[in-house]
Structure formats: structure tokens, C-alpha cells
Amino acid sequence: MSARRLIVAVVAGAIAAALLTGTVAWTMLTQPGPPLAAPVTVSVPEGVRFADLARDLVARDLLRHPWPLVAWARLSRQDRRVHWGEFLFTRPLTPLDLLARLTGPPDPLHAITIPEGLTVRQVVSLLAAAGFGSEESFLCLLDDPRFLAAEDLPPSGAEGYLFPDTYAFPLATPQERILRTMIRRFRKVFTPAMELRALDLGLDAEQAVTLASLVEEETGRAEERPLVAAVFLNRLRRGMPLQSDPTVLYDRDGTDRAITRADLARPTPHNTYVIPGLPPTPIANPGRAALEAAVHPADVPFLYFVARGDGSHEFTSDLAAHHAATARARRAR
């Protein structure tokens, strides 16, 4: 056989082999996967390699052979379009249908509502209970100086910056993404304009958030928040201790909300009965209304307020009036 005929034969053989391989691969791409004994949920992590995902699909009995799907996804560049999230499969799909499903929107997300006024540890406990990861993994991130610096948070931590709201995440969401979403939601609410307004009041941004956390913890009534903020700011300007009961509770273990005289005198870092000025950090994560009240306090001379027992407060401007209001509140209770 001449050299030319040999080359032609080799090329023809190679083409035939390629066609056969392509035919086999296409057949494998268009055949449904194994029967499913039960619905299967696949969690796709952010940034996963498609080859690793294909092997996981094989392990979950959704795919018979990984290589045809991996090759086709790379050839069509669809391996770059896979979404992270959760995908529920209830019936066998062909590899091509699997790829179409994974490059489409994931299944509905898991909603979680973070109420106003929770501490960081309480927020983390809610996230863990909802299945988004362990408390330890969240707290490890929140204790990481690199994470705090990357999110432009104070070295003291994220207290005050995990914005209370309703969120929706796949259960496969990395803990770092969840925390960043909450912090960035805070940044959208607490705008640069609000920071400038805080400066007009003599507060930097961190102090404004701390003040907002006190407002959040002191009252649940929208109409009272600007009044509470005014009381604390008026006391700060006069050099008076803030004497905010929630600051006494912040450093105390347990869930008991009763406060004793010993609690008031205990020299804890946040106890505003014994420390001057604002606490060194926020004592909770304030919502939008408390943040707005902190930078837009009411224009009133009040220096005191006392709980009436029905969720509202009586505000007064001098000590004698405050004592009288306190007596009325005690009689009412």
C-alpha cells in the first residue's frame, strides 16, 4: 500500500472512529437516566466545577456516565452557565435535559425572617435552626478579622449590621454569602445621607447604629422612636448617663428580662448605668425605623421616659416630673 493510500486509510479510520464516538456520545446524551426510587434534591454550591457536579449526579443516580455531559457542556460553553442553588428532580431526565435544568433557575428558595432587635448570636441561632449551617460556622466567620475588614465592619464585630428583614436563600448558600447579603442590605438602608445627618448630630456612623440599637430595644412603637432618640441625645449633650435598661441585659447570660439593683450597679462593658456615653458597640440589630429615628430625633427637651406597662412610655423633661410619672406607672401596673 502506498504512503498516500495509508494516510487516506488512517484519516478515514479516524473520521469513522470520531463519528462512531460522536454517535455513541449523542445516544448517551439523549437517553433518560436511571429510574428514581424517590425525588432527589441536588444542592449546587457556588463556583462548583462542572466535572465534579457531573460526578455528583452519577452518585445520586441521575446520570449514567459523566464524560459525554462534561464534554458537551464544555463544547457548548454551558458549563459556565450552571446556577448555584437547589434543584429537585422527580423523574429521570436525559443528560441534555439535566443540563438545561441546571442552567435554568433553581427551585424556590427557603425564606427566613429576621425580626428587629435580635443580637448577632440570636440571628445566627435562627439561621442555623433554618438549616443554613451550624452556629459555629457563622460565628467563626463573624470572628474573622479579614471578613469584618472586607465588609468594612468595625473590629468589634457585626453587631448592629445584620439587617433584620425577610430573606430567601437556597439551603446550599455559603454562610459567607448569607452574612454578606444581610450586611449589604444594611448598607442600602443606612445610606451615606444618613451618615452625614449623624455627623450633624455629633455622631459617627458606628455611634449612630449604636444609638439606633438602643432605640430599637427601648420601644416597639413607631411614634416613640424619635422621642427615645431625642432623650438619649439630650442626655449625651448634658453629660448624663443614658441609663438604658436593655444595655444592662446585653452582657448578662440567660433570657430573664427582670433587672435588679445589683444588675444596675454591675460594671459590665455595655451597662449605661455605670459607663459614660454610648455603649462601645450596638446591643442589637436595629431595623429601618430605629435607624431613621437615630438620625432624625424629635425636637423635644425630654430627658426621661418611663414605661406605662402597656407598651407605651411617658416622656418628661425634669426629674420631679419623671418621679411623678414613675409613680403613676407603678400604680397603673
CATH classification at residue 25: 3.30.1490.480
* Cα dist from 166 to 131, 156, 169, 263, whole Å: 16, 26, 10, 34
| pLDDT attached to residue 253 | 79
In a domain, 319, yes or no: no
Number of domains, the chain: 3
Based on the fold, state whether residues 114 and 93 are members of the same structural domain: no
Based on the fold, state whether residues 200 and 184 are members of the same structural domain: no
Would you report the helix, strand and coil content of the chain in percent, each value rounded to 5? Answer: 50, 10, 40
Residues 245/196, Cβ–Cβ less than 8 Å: no
| CB-side neighbour CA atoms (13 Å) of 151 | 28
What SS3 string covers 70-130? HHHHHHCCHHHCCCCEEEEECCCCCHHHHHHHHCCCCCCCEEEECCCCCCHHHHHHHHHHC
| pLDDT attached to residue 2 | 58
In a domain, 321, yes or no: no
Based on the fold, state whether residues 197 and 139 are members of the same structural domain: no
In a domain, 54, yes or no: yes
In a domain, 314, yes or no: no
Based on the fold, state whether residues 199 and 181 are members of the same structural domain: no
Instruction: Mark the ranges of the chain whose per-residue pLDDT is less than 50.
Output: 8-14, 16-22
Based on the fold, state whether residues 221 and 177 are members of the same structural domain: no
In a domain, 311, yes or no: no
> In terms of Cα–Cα distance, which of 80, 96, 36, 84 is closest to 60?
36
Q: Furthest-apart CA pair in the chain: how many Å?
A: 118
Based on the fold, state whether residues 294 and 205 are members of the same structural domain: yes
Based on the fold, state whether residues 158 and 196 are members of the same structural domain: no
Who contacts 47 (Cβ-Cβ below 8 Å, separation ≥6)?
Answer: 84
In a domain, 290, yes or no: yes
Based on the fold, state whether residues 224 and 142 are members of the same structural domain: no
Q: Which of 37, 71, 102 is the last residue of a domain?
A: 102
In a domain, 320, yes or no: no
In a domain, 327, yes or no: no
Determine the structural domain holding residue 150 and report its residue range: 110-189
| pLDDT attached to residue 172 | 72
Based on the fold, state whether residues 222 and 234 are members of the same structural domain: yes
| pLDDT attached to residue 213 | 98
Q: Note if the pTM is more than 0.95.
A: no
Based on the fold, state whether residues 82 and 126 are members of the same structural domain: no
| pLDDT attached to residue 88 | 85
Which burial class, exposed, middle or buried, applies to 16 when counting CB atoms under 10 A from its CB (0-12, 13-18, 19+)?
Answer: exposed
